Structure 1
Amino acid sequence: MDFAALKARQRAERHSHPENLALRVHRALSWLQRAELAEDSDGRFVFLWIAFNAAYATDIDPQHRLSEQDAFKAFLHKLCSLDSQKRLDQLVWQHYPQAIRVLLDNPYVFQSFWDCQRGLISEDEWTGRFANGKKQAAQALGSNDTATVLGVVFNRLYTLRNQLMHGGATWNGKVNREQLRDCEKLLGDLVPAVIAIMLDSPDTLWGDAVYPVVKHP
C-alpha cells in the first residue's frame, strides 16, 4: 500500500464518508505523500508521524483529554479490533518482528533513560522501568497481543519523535542512524495500514478531528 493506491481508493469512496473521517484521511494522505517524496530518513520519519497524528488526533473536552501516548494507544487498540484483514498482525509478526525486538532493547528510544541523564530519576528507576517495559513487551509478544506490542513500540517511536521535533538530534547525524532507519521503515508501512483500516471502517465513530476546516460566509 502506498499513497497512490490509497488516494485512488479514497477518491472513489469519499462521497460516502462522514465529514470527520473524510478530513482525517485527506490530511493523513497528504502527509503520507510528502513522506514518500522525502529523500532522508529524518524528514520521512517526521512526515510519517504527522500523517499518523492526522489520523488519530481527536478534539475532546480538555477536562477529559488523555495524554498523547494514552490517546494513540487507545487508537491502536481500536484499529486492531477493526483490522479484519489482519494488516497490523502481518506487520508485527511477519515483516518486523526482529526490528521490533531490537527497538525494544534500545535504551536511547526509552524516555526514562533520558530522564535519568537529566537527573530527574535514579539509574535504578530507569533500569527498573526499562526491564518492566521489556517484560510487558515479551509477554505481549508471547501471546500474539498485537495491540499491546504496538503500544509499547509507539512509546519508543514517540521518544524518537520528541528528539527530532524538539531539536534534540542533528539532521542526518551519525549517532542515531540505525534506530531511525528501522523506525522510519516500520512507520512507513504502519501508516498506510492505519489509513486502509480507517477506510475499511467508515461507519466507526472516529471523533471530531482537531482544527476543523472553518468555512466563512
Structure 2
Amino acid sequence: MDHQALKTRHRQEREGHHPNLTLRVHRALSWLNRAEQEDDLDGRFIFLWIAFNSAYATDIDEQFRLSEQSTFKAFLDKLCALDTANLIENLVWSEFSGSIRALLDNPYVFQSFWDNQNGKISEQQWTERFASGRRTAQQALANRNTAAVLGVLFNRIYTLRNQVMHGGATWNSSVNRDQLRDCANLLAKLVPVIILLMLDNPETLWGDACYPVVA
C-alpha cells in the first residue's frame, strides 16, 4: 500500500468523513508522498516522521496535554485495538529479524545512553535500562502484545527524531547511517498501514487536528 493507492481511496471516501479525519489523512499523505520521492536518507526519515506526526497530533487544552511520547503511545494503542486484520502485528513479526531487532540492539537510539554520556546517570543505570527495555520488547513479542512492542520501538525512533530535529546530528553523517536506515525503513512500512487503519475506521474519535486550515 503506497501513497497513490491510499490517496485514491481517500479521494473516493473523504466526503463522508469527519473534517478532522480528512485533514489528518490529507496531511499525512502529503508527507508520505514526499518521503517516497526522497533519496536522501536524512530527508526521508524527517518526512516520514512528519507524516506520522500529522496522523497522531491532537489539539487539546494545555492543562490536559500529555507529553508527546504519551500522545503517540495512546494513538498506537488505539490503532492496535482497531486492527482486527492484524496488519500491524504481521508487520512487526515480518520486520522483527530486520529493522526491529537492529533498533532494539542499537544503544544510539536509546535515550539513557545519551543521558549517561551527558553525566545525568551512571553507566550501570543506562545499561540496566537498556537490558530492561530489550526484555520488555522480547516479552511483548512472546505475548503478541503488539502495542507494547510499538511503544518500545517508538521510544527508540523518538530519540533519533530528537537528535535530527534539534540539530544533534550532522547531515549525511557516517556515524548514524544504521539507525537512520532502520528507522526510515520501519516508518516507511508502518505509516501507510496507519493511514489505512484510519481510513478503515472513520467513525473513531481521532480528535481535533492541530492548526486547522484558515481560509
Asked if these proteins are the same fold (TM beyond 0.5), I'd say yes
Mapped pair 1:27 → 2:37: no
Normalising to structure 1: TM-score of the pair?
A: 0.96
Tell me the residue number matched to 2:48.
Answer: 48
Tell me the residue number matched to 1:190.
Answer: 190
**Bigger mean CA offset, 67-76 vs 98-107:** 98-107
Mapped pair 1:13 → 2:13: yes
> 1:14 and 1:72 mapped to 2: Cα distance?
24
> 1:98 and 1:134 mapped to 2: Cα distance?
15
Q: Which runs of 5+ in 2 are unaligned?
A: none
> 2:126 and 2:214 mapped to 1: Cα distance?
45
Tell me the residue number matched to 1:174.
Answer: 174
> 1:44 and 1:198 mapped to 2: Cα distance?
22
1:152-181: CA deviation from partner (whole Å, max 9, x where unpaired): 000000001111111111111111112211
Asked if structure 1 preserves the Cα contact closer than 8 Å seen for 2:99 and 2:185, the reply is no
Tell me the residue number matched to 1:107.
Answer: 107
> 1:85 and 1:4 mapped to 2: Cα distance?
22
CA offset at residue 121 of structure 1? 1.4
Mapped pair 1:212 → 2:208: no
Moved over 3 A (4+): 95-98
1:83-135: CA deviation from partner (whole Å, max 9, x where unpaired): 12221011101234432122111110000110111111111221121122112
Alignment of 1:17-166 (within 5 A): 17-166=17-166
How many pairs are equivalent? 215
> 1:182 and 1:214 mapped to 2: Cα distance?
37
Asked if structure 1 preserves the Cα contact closer than 8 Å seen for 2:102 and 2:182, the reply is no
Normalising to structure 2: TM-score of the pair?
A: 0.97
- Give the aligned residue type for 1:156: R
Asked if structure 2 preserves the Cα contact closer than 8 Å seen for 1:88 and 1:193, the reply is yes
Asked if structure 2 preserves the Cα contact closer than 8 Å seen for 1:31 and 1:50, the reply is yes
Identical-pair percentage: 67
> 1:213 and 1:200 mapped to 2: Cα distance?
24
Given the superposition, is the C-alpha separation of residues 148 and 97 from structure 1 closer, same or farther in structure 2, using an over 3 Å criterion? farther
Tell me the residue number matched to 1:4.
Answer: 4
> 2:86 and 2:9 mapped to 1: Cα distance?
19
- Give the aligned residue type for 1:113: F
Tell me, what secondary structure is at the counterpart of 1:185?
helix
> 2:126 and 2:190 mapped to 1: Cα distance?
28
> 1:96 and 1:186 mapped to 2: Cα distance?
10
Q: Which runs of 5+ in 1 are unaligned?
A: none
CA offset at residue 211 of structure 1? 0.7
Kindly report the root-mean-square deviation, in angstroms, between the aligned alpha carbons of the 2 structures.
1.0
Asked if structure 2 preserves the Cα contact closer than 8 Å seen for 1:96 and 1:186, the reply is no
Asked if structure 1 preserves the Cα contact closer than 8 Å seen for 2:32 and 2:47, the reply is yes
